[in-house]
A and B are shown apart, each in its own frame.
Chain A
């Protein structure tokens, strides 16, 4: 079992009035950075790095970083900078990037170099992961949305080639062209660091990950659909002629532990309430469907299925509800209905797990038994949680939750990709832990 720690590093501006109780409605890509306070940003970046160092001290196997752009909910726009710093200031934990947004890189060779440097500085502790990104990321770096999937695949192939094929060589692809590929940096891990693919539940991506035998990391999805996605992965694996195991399944979920049930409840409410993260489930950030689903991000047909005529079109059909952009008023109405997504609702669905170690551990057991993942990440310290909230939880995780989770995983035979090779399904010899980093 691999146990990682994650926070999305929200830009928590208590004075901004963006979020939660302050009542200001915000729409994705609708906030000007004129309100950004770099001194606050400075404090937060340092705080989040400190918490990750402490997570390592508390026994986490890895710290996970993610990347988003032009949004206050995640400060990891240049995630590789954070990863590079962690490579130097941590000693043992894996640095798990889930993930770099491949299609928005116009020069993925640069990414190959950056990741190789991070892997070397960390002495082989990088786990790399790649995503297609949401519409937000394509807008933020102006990547042509209809070619998102093509660029993802070609950038993946190029980075792997840059890492594994002796240079110099030429790369003349559909979206990337290089006359000289010969990066003067190679990954410490050979042939290359592990590649994990995070996702929500795109069938395309699950299928692709299974075809490559990459672990698939479900990001805080509900238990049943998560299991369905794993089942689909298994189905594709069977078609490919191998058996998917726990090493191929990974799960990120929200867990906060605290000293008392009352404190746990107070802190966990901050996932949803108060400043940032506005786009966490249950908060009031509004996502615009037409930006999330930019033209061509998901496959559409090459030919319009029906002949339309002006008169026919005027006479027929009504808008499907899901095609409509959700207005601020509609979102407000949904919130006041206090149904799907409320804090209590998320507790019921185990979308948020909180309590003292005594009450949390059985719930983690339920997740492990139901999903059988070989690697998990606890998502904590997010929303409006402050440094103290995060540190209390980290300490209790280290003292009680992590050891108990390891025991349960052992009993349930949940093997991580560091115990069983995802490519061969053969056991991996455990290496001595080498103290790396800041000598």
Chain B
């Protein structure tokens, strides 16, 4: 992939008076991907792989990256409401909603309030539930590099992705994203005790995917999601970490195509 052969477009739409930027490419059924709490790095190979089978839309979540900050937002559910309104404009029905990590938390919240919009749901290393075993890794108490590298199966794969010295733009993105995450999910950190109570109502076909070497969100959460959602399939990608989209773009895209029939 090079910037010279850009395959994707960049657009902005307005939701609740705020600009939301989104990247888009491909053809076929609508897939919308919600990014990690560390922000959207741009058009990564995972999106490119998905775009072979789908029309892929990747918004910067409100308050992240190039999307304006809803200063009033206080919890992930607020962002889920805004994303629902974003979908109303960009991909109003039969959406395959893919949530990565924190984006999975938003996606689950959205499904709990508006599943009629969704053809299917994919939760990848999703936050949102209080693990019944282990604890969610707290990014607020460690350095960015330590947090991000914990999302990979090992240090080597982290370096492969971000290099020996992480680029300044990426550090800025992490710093900026972390501030927004701190506004939304400071306490409790990365889960909502009210979410599991309503997931039983979500009949959307759901694929729950976690890496077998997950060190950010305890694997217990994968099982909890699969148990709570009545129509869920659980898939563990052996050897992979939290950032399946960075580490295993092709495998993840294939799993999603298999689940959503793109």
Residues of chain A touching chain B, judged by Cβ–Cβ distance below 8 Å, are: 29, 139, 142, 144-147, 288, 290-291, 294-296, 300-320, 323, 325
Contacts and interface: CB of A to CB of B under 8 A. Distances in A.
Interface of B: 1-3, 10, 41-44, 64-66, 68-69, 71, 140-144, 162-163, 165-173, 175-176, 178-179, 181-183, 186-187
A304 B172 contact: yes
B60 to A, nearest CB: 8
B166 to A, nearest CB: 6
20 contacts: A139-B141, A142-B186, A144-B183, A295-B140, A300-B176, A301-B176, A302-B69, A305-B172, A308-B172, A308-B173, A310-B41, A311-B3, A311-B42, A312-B42, A313-B167, A313-B170, A314-B167, A317-B167, A318-B165, A319-B168
Contacts of B141: 29, 139, 291
A111 to B, nearest CB: 21
Contacts of B187: 142, 144
Nearest to B145: A325
A320 B3 contact: no
In order of increasing CB-CB distance, the 9 nearest A-B pairs are A309-B42, A317-B168, A295-B182, A310-B42, A295-B179, A313-B169, A144-B186, A296-B179, A308-B169
A311 B170 contact: no
A136 to B, nearest CB: 11
Given A310-B42, A311-B2, A319 B171 contact: yes
Nearest to B170: A313
Contacts of B178: 295
B168 to A, nearest CB: 4
Contacts of A312: 3, 42, 169
A217 B173 CA distance: 36
Contact of A304 (B3, B44, B66): B66
A303 B169 contact: no
Nearest to A307: B66
A62 B183 CA distance: 40
B206 to A, nearest CB: 28
A317 B175 contact: no
B181 to A, nearest CB: 7
Given A295-B175, A307-B10, 11 more contacts: A144-B186, A295-B140, A295-B178, A296-B179, A304-B64, A310-B41, A310-B44, A311-B3, A312-B169, A313-B42, A325-B143
B170 A308 contact: yes
A42 to B, nearest CB: 31
Nearest to B166: A319
Contacts of A308: 41-42, 65, 169-170, 172-173
A34 B181 CA distance: 32
A234 B167 CA distance: 41
Contacts, number: 102
A295 B181 contact: yes
Given A303-B66, A308-B173, A312-B3, A320 B168 contact: yes
Contacts of B167: 313-318
B179 A313 contact: no
A314 B43 CA distance: 13
A306 B168 CA distance: 11
Given A302-B68, A309-B3, A320-B168, A146 B42 contact: no
B198 to A, nearest CB: 25
A310 B6 CA distance: 12
Contacts of A288: 143
A316 B169 contact: yes
B182 A146 contact: yes
B173 A304 contact: yes
B175 A306 contact: no
A1 B186 CA distance: 45
A139 B141 CA distance: 8
Contacts of A145: 140, 182, 186
Contacts of A325: 143
A106 B173 CA distance: 31
B15 to A, nearest CB: 15
A318 B167 CA distance: 5
A301 B179 CA distance: 10
Contacts of A144: 182-183, 186-187
A308 B71 CA distance: 22
Nearest to A315: B167
A294 B182 contact: yes
Interface centre among A306, A311, A315 (most CB of B within 10 A): A311
Interface centre among B3, B71, B168 (most CB of A within 10 A): B168
A58 B195 CA distance: 62
A142 B169 CA distance: 29
Contact of B175 (A300, A303, A309): A300
B225 to A, nearest CB: 26
Contacts of B143: 288, 290, 325
Nearest to B184: A146
B179 to A, nearest CB: 4
A317 B169 contact: yes
Contacts of B172: 304-306, 308
B171 A294 contact: no
Contacts of B44: 310
Nearest to A289: B143
A320 B171 CA distance: 10
Nearest to B2: A311
B68 A303 contact: yes
Contacts of B183: 144, 146-147, 296
Contacts of A305: 172
B176 to A, nearest CB: 5
A141 to B, nearest CB: 11
Contacts of A142: 186-187
A228 B239 CA distance: 56
A281 B167 CA distance: 32
Nearest to B146: A325
Contacts of A309: 3, 41-43
Interface centre among A296, A303, A304 (most CB of B within 10 A): A304
A359 B142 CA distance: 46
